[in-house]
Amino acid sequence: MISLFNPNPDGEPDPAVEDVEPDPDGQDVDRRAATAPLQAILRDRQPRLIVTPAILAVIVAIFVMMVAASGQVAIPAWTQLRWGAQFGPGIADGQWWRLLSSMWLHAHPLHLGLNAIFLWQFGWYVERLLGSLVFLIVYLLAGVVASAVSVQFHASNGLSVGASGALFGLFGVLLTVAMTSRGKGGLGEMVAGLRPNLLFVLVVNLILGFLVRGIDNAAHMGGLAGGLVLGWLVGRHSLEARPSPRLTLIPILMTVGLVCATVISIGARQDIRAEVARVRTQIDRAEAAFQVARREIEARRRTPADVADEAERTVLPVIHDAQGRADELLRVATAWAAATAASDRNGRIPHATIPADAGARRWQVHRLEVCLARYDDAWRRRMRGLRSGDAAGVADGDARAAVAIRDCSRVLAGS
């Protein structure tokens, strides 16, 4: 995350020429002077930062250990995964803790460095506004919310690590305080004066998130939204009094509910048996409709060509949609098999090291794909036979459809 905020909140540097402007009375006014009393007041409220440097030390220590474990400064994906990166298939399997652990990991030194700078600059303000305990709770909740939003966009096989979602949460809290502080005395006016800088930093970071490949902007926006909510529930009265930890009870319950919904949602989207059952229901409907159409052909209420055209408009798109979902499930199953297998020294994954359940999941999805391909071929043969008046071609399609339906039933039964 890029920060263009005051790079030295604890210092009081001399203003540059462009930071001084004449006021209406002819006096020179220092634009930075407004922040100096704010920093002094916040420093008086809590002279010593506790959580911000502790978080900074932890993320640096974890990165150093990951470098030592992988032997690489740019942390490879398999190391990130084993250390707790956000990963949809793992979360779908009940590893909900990845929503929390991923916010402590970083992929490379630049990633760590930018987030460390941002943490120090904005943590300085938010920890002194909220107090150390409430600050820690808000940081963790914002990080989890960011991960929960991110995984909805990267549920198949995308890895995501980094503290930036939680940092956007801190940013959201500070922005809420700044947006609601006008009219709350001198301190409120000082904090309100931060709004232009805050909005500028927000816009720059969101634009970079869309332009630069590899940035998880879903996590950024999720963290920001979580921070705005947390700021409203917990932080908007922090100028008047240090918020009590009891105020975080409702946000904690809301976040727990979001985590449960996320795990259930991702699990449902990656439930192979549920997808096979859905496909089987659609196949049964298509077969029933085809039998009705055949009787209408025999009664001369419809022509075979009309039935073929209707099948092309209605049945084939359903099959293709199911094939797309099966492709996605196969990518998930393959990624999960690779993630749970033991790689060799060169990073290759011997087939024998893939756990049985991961291999079975991938094989099950492969069988579903074969079933759908056969069913698609059966309908194409039926349509060609109907249009050309080739009864043998239609019968061949019927036989192939029966095989596909039987295979789909076996996949559903797990045999």
Query: What contacts 24+ positions apart, CB below 8 Å, involve 361-366?
Result: 361/272, 361/333, 361/336, 361/337, 362/330, 362/333, 362/334, 362/337, 364/272, 364/276, 364/333, 364/411, 364/414, 365/272, 365/326, 365/329, 365/330, 365/333, 366/330
Query: What contacts 24+ positions apart, CB below 8 Å, involve 31-39?
Result: 32/6, 34/190, 34/193, 35/6, 35/190, 35/193, 35/194, 36/12, 37/186, 37/190, 38/187, 38/190, 38/191, 38/193, 38/194, 39/9, 39/10, 39/12
Total residue length of the chain = 415
As a whole number of angstroms, the distance between CA 364 and CA 254 comes to: 36
Residue in 102, 150, 164, 181 annotated catalytic: 164
Residue in 150, 160, 220, 238 annotated catalytic: 220
As a whole number of angstroms, the distance between CA 370 and CA 78 comes to: 30
For residue 106, indicate whether it is catalytic.
Answer: no
For residue 3, indicate whether it is catalytic.
Answer: no
Any idea which residues carry the catalytic annotation? 164, 220
